[in-house]
């Protein structure tokens, strides 16, 4: 079988490519250098020529609170275009299996914790990333619709906050953990005596190393076939303040941490119920400390 990973050079896609290669799968990862998924004709042409048996959609325009708040139009329209172009092209090319990767931001801001899959669309979204969330919800519905209308064995997976090598460390567009890593490593290297962070540090978040996610997707390819999306997370949570302290320690930054409380915190708490994926025989293996230490070292090496 031929596997195609869209977004294959990014954080998630590159981890999936590595995992499938370890499983001796015939896999190709593509990025915008190979085909622009915003271009519908080019996307159709590429899939018709490549003829994959399995497509994993890890391609998306992503960012943190700042990026989502500043560019909601781009986050909504570009993500809808990417996923609809890819799925429509996969259907046209007769792709047997497809995995769509969503995001835990699809759930209501005040969702009961831990968040079960059925809690989707039961309340208002977090305002700071609602455009991105709506795009991902549309992707879930498109997968469900293709299953219903054409009988495709396509699935949707909802990962929690991810981190690891090949992440986006741009302070304007990155998520919280890579942003923290860059700030503390750069502060250490530059001899700064303080680092200023957004919000209060009080929100609770769940994090999963991207290599654990890749293993979970491999399991889902073999064992999951349902029109409901499936949560993938670590099952544990940490406050942003404690997370910052861990990153600072591994970056060997010993200065002051200042919290800018005029900046938004985002959702107060978000942890996924992962019983479905646990019941398939998967469990996360990389601890938070191990994952942060390795990612800090990776970033330092890249710098």
User: Which residues are identified as catalytic?
Assistant: 132
Separation CA 225–CA 178 (nearest Å):
33
Instruction: Give the integer Cα–Cα distance in Å for 74 and 156.
Output: 22
Q: Is the distance from CB of 61 to CB of 104 less than 8 angstroms?
A: no
Backbone φ, ψ for residue 134 (5° rounding): -60, -40
| Maximum separation of any 2 CA atoms in the chain, in Å | 60
Structure tokens at 124: 């208002």
């Amino acid at each position: 079988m031929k596997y195609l990973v869209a977004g294959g050079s990014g954080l998630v896609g590159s981890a999936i490519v590595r995992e499938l290669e370890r499983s001796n799968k015939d896999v190709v990862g593509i990025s915008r250098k190979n085909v622009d998924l915003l271009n519908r004709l080019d996307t159709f042409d590429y899939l018709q020529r490549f003829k994959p048996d399995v497509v994993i959609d890890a391609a998306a325009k992503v960012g943190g609170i700042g990026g989502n708040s500043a560019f909601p139009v781009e986050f909504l329209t570009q993500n809808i275009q990417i996923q609809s172009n890819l799925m429509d092209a996969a259907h046209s090319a007769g792709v047997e299996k497809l995995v769509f990767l969503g995001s835990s931001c699809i759930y209501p801001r005040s969702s009961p914790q831990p968040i079960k899959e059925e809690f989707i669309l039961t309340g208002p979204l977090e305002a700071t990333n609602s455009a991105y969330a709506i795009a991902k919800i549309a992707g879930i519905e498109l997968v469900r619709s293709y299953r219903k209308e054409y009988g495709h064995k396509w699935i949707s997976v909802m990962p929690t906050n991810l981190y690891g090598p090949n992440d986006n460390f741009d302070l304007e567009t990155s998520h919280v953990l890579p942003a923290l890593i860059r700030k503390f490593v750069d502060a250490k290297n530059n001899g700064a005596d303080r680092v200023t962070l957004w919000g209060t540090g009080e929100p609770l978040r769940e994090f999963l190393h991207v290599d654990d996610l890749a293993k979970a997707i491999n399991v889902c390819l073999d064992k999951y076939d349902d029109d409901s999306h499936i949560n993938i997370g670590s099952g544990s949570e940490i406050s942003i303040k404690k997370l910052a302290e861990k990153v600072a320690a591994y970056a060997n930054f010993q200065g002051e941490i200042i919290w800018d409380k005029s900046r938004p915190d985002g959702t107060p708490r978000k942890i996924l119920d992962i019983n479905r994926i646990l019941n398939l025989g998967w469990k996360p293996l990389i601890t938070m400390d191990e994952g942060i230490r390795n990612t800090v070292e990776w970033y330092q090496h890249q710098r």
